[in-house]
């Protein structure tokens, strides 16, 4: 994706930047094989004695779950003295290993995430959602780099939630009438007929949260016989189980725009901070990584123009 003229900038910047790049590449290799060395900073390759070992903290690269199968894949340890290297390496990894652009939805952290459409393998269109931070990955097809976007979805969520609620009723020996009458689908139909929201759950901060209206429906038959704090704990359990069942799917940006023509959520791309006057190694590295990211952005703009998807690119702000 990056021409040799761009890659040569690491060499032209000096030996210190070359060494930092080599250390970053070694760290990428360590994470692939999940190798870990006790008391070693993985971004500088420096070992520390026992008195300094507790100053090593573990960090994680963005979108690690899209690159690594191992649960520890994507994590790396860094000494407190070198914490300034963390955002540089994370951006380096996104550019070269994930081959992606990091898009940040311009939404409050406590706002429900936007619901979008996705096509399943069966051909059925169903609800999905974008995380607060979206991965826009590039994949080479023949001679062309195609952008793909990652979506998240649940398989038959209302049915699963209904089963979990009924399991709670059965466990606590609730009246069989409650089990017979409890139906998510029928509750949704009643709410819609009454002009009320029939939404069962929302996605907030990348976690499944049952709506207050549905929680009221679930708790109403039993709240007189049980302490509500106990019921609330069960609600948290259901939400946790549902969050663990989230699937992800990668679709081309072209397909995403076709399925979601009214998508209008603003997004931001953040450049790394650079102090040009200071001219430290970290500033020189940040400047090069920004150039590489800007190259990706120009490529994305050209791709959207050629495929009549300018409306998506126009939602993006670089800052």
pLDDT reported for residue 95: 97
pLDDT reported for residue 277: 83
* Cα 169 from chain centroid (whole Å): 34
Phi, psi of 63 (to 5 degrees): 60, 30
pLDDT reported for residue 37: 65
The string of pLDDT tens digits covering residues 41-56 is 999 999 998 888 889 9
Retrieve residue 214's tokens. Answer: 């549905």
Residue 271 is given by DSSP the state P
Selected residue with higher pLDDT from 189 and 222? 189
Residue 254 CA to residue 31 CA, distance in Å, equals: 32
Selected residue with higher pLDDT from 265 and 35? 265
Instruction: Write out the DSSP string of 216-263.
Output: HHHHTTTTTTS-HHHHHHHHHHHHHHHHHT-EEEEEEHHHHHHH-TT-
Counting other chains too, the contacts that 93-96 makes at CB distance below 8 Å and 24 or more residues apart are 93/24, 93/28, 93/61, 93/62, 94/61, 94/62, 94/63, 95/2, 95/289, 95/292, 95/293, 95/296, 96/28
Neighbours of 228 (CB within 10 A): 12
On the 0-12 / 13-18 / 19+ scale of CB atoms within 10 A, 100 is buried
Residue 246 CA to residue 206 CA, distance in Å, equals: 10
What percent of the chain has pLDDT above 90? 69
Cβ density class 74-84: b for 16+ within 10 Å, e for less: bbbbbbeebee
* Residue position matching structure tokens 């050209």: 302
Pairing of the two strands 56-60 and 75-79: antiparallel
The string of pLDDT tens digits covering residues 124-162 is 999 999 999 999 999 988 888 999 999 999 999 999 999
The string of pLDDT tens digits covering residues 181-207 is 899 999 999 999 999 999 999 999 889
Confidence class for position 172, pLDDT limits 50, 70, 90: confident
pLDDT reported for residue 231: 83
Mean pLDDT for 7-31 is: 95
């Amino acid at each position: 994706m990056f021409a040799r003229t761009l890659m040569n900038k690491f060499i032209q910047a000096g030996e210190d930047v070359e060494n930092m790049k080599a250390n970053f590449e070694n760290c990428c290799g360590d994470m692939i094989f999940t190798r870990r060395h006790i008391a070693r900073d993985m971004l500088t390759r420096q070992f520390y004695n026992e008195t300094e070992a507790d100053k090593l903290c573990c960090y994680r690269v963005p979108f690690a779950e899209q690159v690594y199968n191992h649960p520890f894949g994507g994590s790396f340890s860094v000494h407190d003295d070198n914490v300034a290297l963390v955002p540089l390496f994370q951006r380096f990894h996104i550019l070269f290993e994930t081959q992606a652009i990091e898009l940040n939805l311009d939404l409050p952290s406590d706002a429900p995430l936007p619901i979008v459409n996705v096509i399943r393998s069966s051909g059925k269109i169903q609800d999905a959602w974008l995380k607060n931070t979206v991965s826009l990955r590039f994949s080479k097809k023949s001679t062309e780099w195609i952008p793909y976007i990652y979506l998240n979805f649940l398989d038959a969520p209302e049915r699963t939630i209904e089963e979990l609620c009924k399991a709670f009723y059965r466990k606590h020996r609730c009246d069989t009438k409650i089990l017979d009458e409890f139906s998510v689908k029928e509750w949704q139909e009643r709410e819609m007929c009454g002009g009320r929201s029939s939404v069962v759950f929302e996605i907030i901060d990348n976690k499944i949260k049952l709506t207050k209206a549905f929680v009221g429906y679930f708790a109403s038959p039993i709240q007189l016989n049980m302490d509500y704090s106990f019921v609330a704990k069960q609600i948290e359990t259901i939400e946790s189980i549902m969050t663990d069942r989230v699937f992800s799917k990668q679709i081309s940006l072209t397909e995403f725009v076709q399925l979601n023509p009214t998508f209008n959520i603003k997004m931001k791309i953040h450049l790394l901070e650079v102090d040009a006057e200071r001219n430290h190694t970290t500033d020189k590295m940040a400047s090069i990584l920004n150039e590489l990211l800007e190259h990706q952005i120009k490529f994305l703009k050209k791709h959207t123009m050629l495929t009549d998807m300018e409306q998506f690119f126009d939602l993006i702000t670089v800052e």
